[in-house]
A and B are shown apart, each in its own frame.
Chain A
Amino acid sequence: MTKHVIHCIFAVCVSMGLLLLMIGMADSVPNAGGQPHAEHPGMVIGADGAARLAHIGSLAFMFNSLLLTLVVGLCVLGVSERHRSRKFLAGMGGSWLFMLMIWWMMFSTHQEFLLTGETDYFMGFPVPTAWQMYGTWLGAIPLIVMYSYGFRTFIYTREDEAEFDALLEQATRNSKQD
């Protein structure tokens, strides 16, 4: 099944390219990239957040969802095909859903703020920003846990090590013969 992971990665990249094109061609909004602060030189303000997302909000949401898909797809590609077991794929699927959930919470709570103008705080930051700040940082922790704790199961098993050692010995023998 995972033999075609490179084709999935290619499809994701092409979709992201198309989304970038659509965003580039969307109706423009003045100062979508920010404007100078009226009182403090050197500071930039974002001003009307709802207007900035009006034409590209859903496209941007899809873009990052695809980016997170790409991240997981690349991690799958990085693991030898023979170690892509159901357990491994389940872990990767779970990591992907976890990152998508964080992204959805960040995006939706920001949308909510744009509608109501009100927000709670969590550990020093408005809730949407807390999802970005803490959530994004923690979002990839399942991947890191899978790498570190699953190192001898998915990444570099004892059999892999023995195979590589044999390869090294062969290379040494070949160089001596040369």
Chain B
Amino acid sequence: MEAYRQEIIVGSVVIYMLFCVATGLWAMRRTRDSSDFFVAGRGLGPIVVALALFSSTLSGFGFVGGPGIVYSIGVSSFWMVVISSTGYAVGFFLVAKRIRMIAELRDCLSLPDVVAARYGSDAVRFLIALTIVLGVMGYLATQILAMAVVMQAILSGTETFANIGLVSCVIISSAVLIFYCVTGGIIASVYTDVVQGFIMMVAGSLILMTAVSVFDGGMQEATAIILADDSEAIMPFGSAGVMASLGWFFVFGLGLAGQPHLITKMMMNKKMSDNRSILPMSLFGYVMAALLWISIGIVMRAAVIDGIVEPLALPDDAASTFLSIFANPLLAGVVFAGLFAAIMSTSDAFLNIGTAAIIHDIPTALRGRSVENELFWARVVTVLLAIVAAGFALYSHYADATLVALLGAFGWGTFAASIFPVVAVGLNWRGATVAGAVTAISAALLINFVVQLSSIVPPYGISGPLVAFVTSMILFIGVSLITKQPELAPDIEDVLRI
């Protein structure tokens, strides 16, 4: 079997991609209008929503960057993962019920729709939509680039595609992504997420079993090797220190309820009462998949320190090196398919909310109505958005990484800082005002931009997104408290009371 390692890996990825294409074709017949395209007609069952929710949370970053970060800075990066239980709990307590209620009551297609209904303000709608578009571009570009780099690494190991270029890989991977997103919209996206989530869970648990068998003494031997080399790396705050760790705890934990691609999925379940089972199922799936993140990183750091494995050229090589040395070819095939699943499940979610922001939210905010024939334009803009993001990805790779890096700053941290207060707090506190929301979003965008542009490095590992998040929370509540209490629409008043 070892002789066919590359063929098995390529075969697994090809089967997975064919599945995505088939799902797109199947979902196309179920997509009749823009409500189906953007929110699946609010008719999804609990298992589908749970798997879609967690698989969109764990992007390619979790499968490639995650083990690499553990390899690099040790336990510090665990804080991004172990916070998931708190993050999901906060997200469901604050967002799941009321976003679903407003979405149904006002027939909302997107997060900015919900925000506009809550605040009765097109200014807030516009700012949220703008934040989403900026964030989506950076996120999508990095995801497409990651997908292409992994595809090139896999295909170049075969004789037929030994000299395949990165541009070809960007085209192939983007084409599959575009196909199922355009044909099937969010319905294709969430149903591929189900399989993607399942593959990620299987990959995570199998990798854990492989990782603990690398050293005779299991995980304890691996951690003891790291402890002997540098105790801080394997202690609770890792190499990056206490404030970097707690910053991630804050931004990744609470910030989960500010991620538009995740909370939009909370609008899609058929029955409100399904939330009680969606929460534990999502968390379980995330924990299973995240085992890969932690176990590969720890074992690879210990293996390099112990001299079993040559030092890695880049920390991000941790996962691929682990798979090539320690994993059975079949497992490597499942994990590589899982990697594509992780990247695509996040990308399709971003394509969907980015398209909604462009064809629905921004026009509605500026001229009071969406575009005519939304479904047609949704499909056109999905294609264009993916092409522009792929262009950004290639430009960043070959010419100048600044633009994508800048847009990348509008990643998780900026979504968390600008969207969390306005949505998660605002949906539960009737005293939240438009002035508070506008101030919080503007401050979050400004702080993240300034920190990114000026390359400010705060002391003790305090991060820009952490400062932005705390500031936006203070400003949101503070400004709302001192500005005139709003007159809410009667139905929104009722929703906030229920």
Q: Which residues of A contact B (CB under 8 A)?
A: 6, 9-10, 13-14, 16-17, 20, 23-24, 26, 28-29, 32-34, 37, 39-49, 52-53, 56-57, 60, 63-64, 67, 70-71, 74-75, 77-81, 106-107, 110, 113, 117, 119, 121, 123-126, 128-129, 131-133, 136-141, 143-144, 147-149, 151-152, 155-156, 160-161, 163-164, 167-168, 170-171
13 examples of A-B residue contacts, CB within 8 angstroms:
A23-B460, A23-B462, A24-B460, A40-B305, A43-B239, A44-B72, A52-B242, A60-B242, A63-B243, A80-B498, A126-B235, A140-B85, A152-B273
List of 6 A-B pairs having minimum Cβ-Cβ separation, nearest first = A46-B232, A124-B219, A78-B93, A151-B276, A140-B85, A33-B461
- Whether A34 and B240, one on each chain, are in contact in the complex, defined by CB atoms closer than 8 angstroms, is yes
Q: List, in ascending order, chain B residues with CB within 8 A of A71's CB.
A: 86, 89-90, 253-254
The interface residues of chain B, by DSSP majority, are classed as helix
A63: chain B residues at CB < 8 Å are: 243, 246
Report how many A-B pairs have Cβ atoms within 8 Å: 264
**What are the residues of chain A within 8 A of B294 when measuring CB–CB?**
133
Q: Are A42 and B93 in contact (CB under 8 A)?
A: no
Q: Is B92 an interface residue (CB 8 A)?
A: yes
CA distance A29 to B237 in the complex (A): 16
A140:B86 contact, CB within 8 angstroms: yes
Please report the C-alpha to C-alpha distance between residue A143 and residue B84 in the assembled complex, in whole angstroms: 12
A9 CB → nearest B CB, Å? 7
In the complex the two chains form, is A128's CB within 8 Å of B240's CB?
A: no
Q: Which of A13, A75, A80, A125 contacts B219 (CB 8 A)?
A: A125
Interface residues in B433-477 by Cβ distance below 8 A to A read 458-462, 466-467, 470-471, 473-474, 477
Query: Which of B74-82, B139-147, B171-179, B259-267 contacts its partner?
Result: B74-82
- B433 → chain A closest CB, angstroms: 12
Decide: A42 and B428 in contact? CB cutoff 8 A: no
Interface centre among B94, B230, B424 (most CB of A within 10 A): B230
Q: How far in angstroms is the closest Cβ of chain A from B214?
A: 12
Interface flags for B212-243 (1: CB within 8 Å of A; 0: not) read 10000011101110010111111111111111
Considering the complex, give the chain B residue whose CB is closest to the CB of A76: B93
Q: Which of B315, B477, B481, B495 contacts A167 (CB 8 A)?
A: B495
| Residue pair A167, B105 in contact (C-beta under 8 Å) | yes
Question: Once the chains bind, are A138 and B276 in contact (CB under 8 Å)?
Answer: no
Q: From residue 79 to 137 of chain B, which have CB atoms closer than 8 A to chain A?
A: 79, 82-86, 88-90, 92-95, 97, 101, 104-105
A144 and B279 contacting across the interface, CB-CB below 8 Å: yes
Say yes or no: A155-B97 contact (C-beta < 8 A), given A24-B460, A163-B498, A167-B105.
Answer: yes
Interface code B481-498, partner A: CB below 8 Å = 1, 0 otherwise? 100000000010011011
On chain B, the residues within 8 Å of A77 by CB distance are: 94, 425, 428-429
Contact B473 A13 (CB under 8 A): yes
**B428 proximity list for chain A (CB < 8 A):** 77-78
Q: Does residue B249 face the partner (Cβ distance < 8 Å to A)?
A: yes
Chain A residues contacting B97 (CB-CB under 8 Å) are 78, 155-156
Minimum distance in angstroms from B228 CB to a CB of chain A: 11
* B239 cross-chain contacts in A, Cβ below 8 A: 34, 43-46
Interface residues of B in 342-397 (CB under 8 A from A): none
- Report yes or no: B234 in contact with A129, Cβ–Cβ below 8 A: yes
Which of B93, B249, B474 touches A74 (beta carbons < 8 Å)? B93
Q: CA separation between A160 and B315, bound complex, in Å?
A: 51
- Tell me whether B18 is interfacial, beta carbon within 8 Å: no
B83 & A136 in contact (Cβ 8 Å cutoff): yes
With A60-B246, A141-B85 known, 13 other A-B pairs at CB within 8 A are A33-B244, A44-B72, A44-B74, A49-B235, A52-B241, A56-B242, A81-B497, A110-B235, A121-B223, A132-B79, A136-B83, A147-B89, A147-B276
Q: Does B250 contact A (CB under 8 A)?
A: yes
Alpha-carbon gap, A165 to B60, bound state (A): 40
Judge if B163 is at the interface, Cβ distance under 8 Å: no
Q: Which residues of A contact B71 (CB under 8 A)?
A: 42-43
**Which residues of chain A come closer than 8 Å to B72, judged between CB atoms?**
42-44
A24-B459, A140-B86 known; A148-B236 Cβ under 8 A: no
- CA gap between A148 and B275 in the complex, in Å: 8
Bound Cα distance from A78 to B428, whole angstroms: 6
Given contact pairs A42-B312, A44-B73, A78-B428, A136 touches B473 in the complex (Cβ within 8 A): no
A23 and B90 contact, Cβ closer than 8 Å, known pairs A151-B273, A163-B494 = no
Min CB distance, B76 to chain A, in Å?
8
Contact of A75 among B73, B93, B235, B497 (CB under 8 A): B93
Residues of chain B lying within 8 A (CB to CB) of residue A171: 105, 491
Chain B residue numbers with a CB within 8 Å of A147 are: 89, 92-93, 275-276, 279
Residues of A within 8 A of B478 (CB): 10
Q: Are the CB atoms of B470 and A17 closer together than 8 Å?
A: yes
CB pair B235–A74 under 8 Å, yes or no, is: no
> In the complex, which residues of chain B have a beta carbon less than 8 angstroms from the beta carbon of A137?
82, 84-85, 287
Interface residue B42 (Cβ < 8 Å from any Cβ of A): no
Whole-angstrom distance from the CB of B270 to the nearest CB of chain A? 14
Write the chain B residue with the least CB distance to A143. B89
Q: How far is the CA of A155 from the CA of B34 in the complex (A)?
A: 30
B280 at the interface (CB under 8 A from A): yes
Say whether B235 contacts A128, CB under 8 Å.
yes
Q: Cβ of B249: which chain A residues have Cβ within 8 Å of it?
A: 64, 67, 136
> Could you say which residues of chain A place their CB within 8 Å of the CB of B244?
33
Complex Cα distance A125/B223, Å? 6
How far apart sit A63 and B236, CA to CA, in the bound complex (Å)? 16
Contact, CB under 8 Å: A6 / B477: yes
